[in-house]
A and B are shown apart, each in its own frame.
Chain A
Amino acid sequence: MASYFRSAALVLQVACTVQLVNQYGFEVTWCFGPSMLPTLNMTGDIVIFERLTQRFSKLQTGDLVVATSPEDPSKYVCKRVIGLAGDKVCIDPVSMHRQYITVPPGHYWLTGDNLSNSLDSRQYGPVSGGLILGRVFARLWPNPKWLDNGLEEIVEFG
């Protein structure tokens, strides 16, 4: 009887430790959908994200993040940070008449990589930093790969 109790206690301790790492450090999760198409598959990817950048440092433009959807608290979304608080961003670069918005304090502008098939800040506006769970930094499956900041500087001549 005592040994049953001891093994149950061990399972509880291990599960809670794993949960603690998930909550404050790293979490492995499954992403699917067409909105991040060139970066992530439509049929689903297993990615790993970390919560440390949010806590100890700052997210940068170009980071891939996982956030709770502002429209539905039971859904999570995976998007790319396009603008930080105070940045002036173009609401929809695809549309004919471009409009610009300044991202309010504490918020981020998130869009998918596949702008023609993505439900993102263009629809629901800037996303509060409190909704962002963490920064995606690697894909585990298929073909494991580091997913780093995709921002490239474009130098214009003339």
Chain B
Amino acid sequence: MPFFQGFRRYLWATLPWVPVGIFFTEHGYSLATVNGRSMQPSLNPDSNQLRKDVVVFNRWKIANFQYNIGDVVSYRRPDEPNKIVIKRIVALEGDVVRTRKPYPDRQIRVPAGHCWVEGDEMFHSTDSNHYGPVPLGLLQRKAEYIIYPFNRIGRIPDKPRTSRVQYAPGHKVYNRLDDIQE
């Protein structure tokens, strides 16, 4: 049975590389499709018709706390931790945001360790205006490039800063610690 023996050898040669591949997607770059219209027109614009955007995500940047205002990030929804959603960071801690409708308060200072995220399409987005500031620990990945549809290949478009936010003079820079404090 030379075929099966060959197959088995092939399997034993490739199997140990599977964790290496998973490591790369979990800590480096990964691909994902984007559902929904909350990030229009940056992602999934109407010109897509029924195609969904495929986006390159970078985990490494988020794990090292390298994010900034204007970045498009994916995070676990605070009120539904099983859902991962994609929005744009509008404000970081210390900034004062004038909120939009469903949020109970007129304006809010983003608390320590949190950020304010909003979708680019304000009418079809469930974002911080619904569930408040998002803990930075929930951020998963930074969306960097669109690779499909091919006519829109390239960086994710920037969006100018809104006038609804009063930015603090500087934002706290975090560094990775490894011990757990009780």
Contact = CB atoms under 8 A, between A and B. Distances in A.
A119 B137 CA distance: 17
B20 interface: yes
Interface string B93-119: 000000000000000000111100000
Interface stretch (A15-23, A94-102, A138-146, A147-155): A15-23
B181 interface: yes
Contacts, number: 106
A142 B130 CA distance: 46
Nearest to B138: A130
B182 A130 contact: no
A93 interface: no
B113 A105 contact: no
B80 interface: yes
A111 to B, nearest CB: 11
Given A19-B19, A20-B22, A73-B174, A31 B180 contact: yes
Given A105-B79, A107-B79, A74 B176 contact: yes
A104 interface: yes
Given A20-B23, A23-B26, A130-B76, A32 B179 contact: yes
Nearest to A136: B180
B137 A131 contact: yes
A141 to B, nearest CB: 14
A78 interface: yes
Of the listed residues A72, A73, A77, A131, the one surrounded by the most CB atoms of chain B closer than 10 A to its CB is: A73
Interface string A64-77: 00101111111111
Interface string B1-27: 000000000000000110110110010
Given A71-B113, A72-B113, A128 B76 contact: yes
A68 B181 CA distance: 10
A149 to B, nearest CB: 18
A40 interface: yes
Nearest to A76: B180
B65 A74 contact: yes
A16 B137 contact: no
A72 to B, nearest CB: 5
Contact of B19 (A13, A33, A66, A131): A13
B63 to A, nearest CB: 10
A35 B182 CA distance: 5
A86 interface: no
A34 B182 CA distance: 7
A74 B174 contact: yes
Interface in B115-165: 135-139
Interface of A: 12-13, 16-17, 19-20, 23, 29-36, 40, 66, 68-79, 104-107, 112, 118, 128-131
Q: Which 3 A-B pairs have the closest CB atoms?
A: A130-B76, A68-B137, A33-B182
Given A32-B179, A71-B113, 7 more contacts: A17-B19, A70-B137, A71-B112, A73-B136, A74-B175, A75-B177, A130-B76
15 contacts: A19-B23, A31-B180, A32-B179, A33-B181, A34-B182, A36-B182, A70-B137, A71-B113, A73-B135, A74-B65, A79-B182, A104-B79, A128-B76, A128-B78, A130-B77
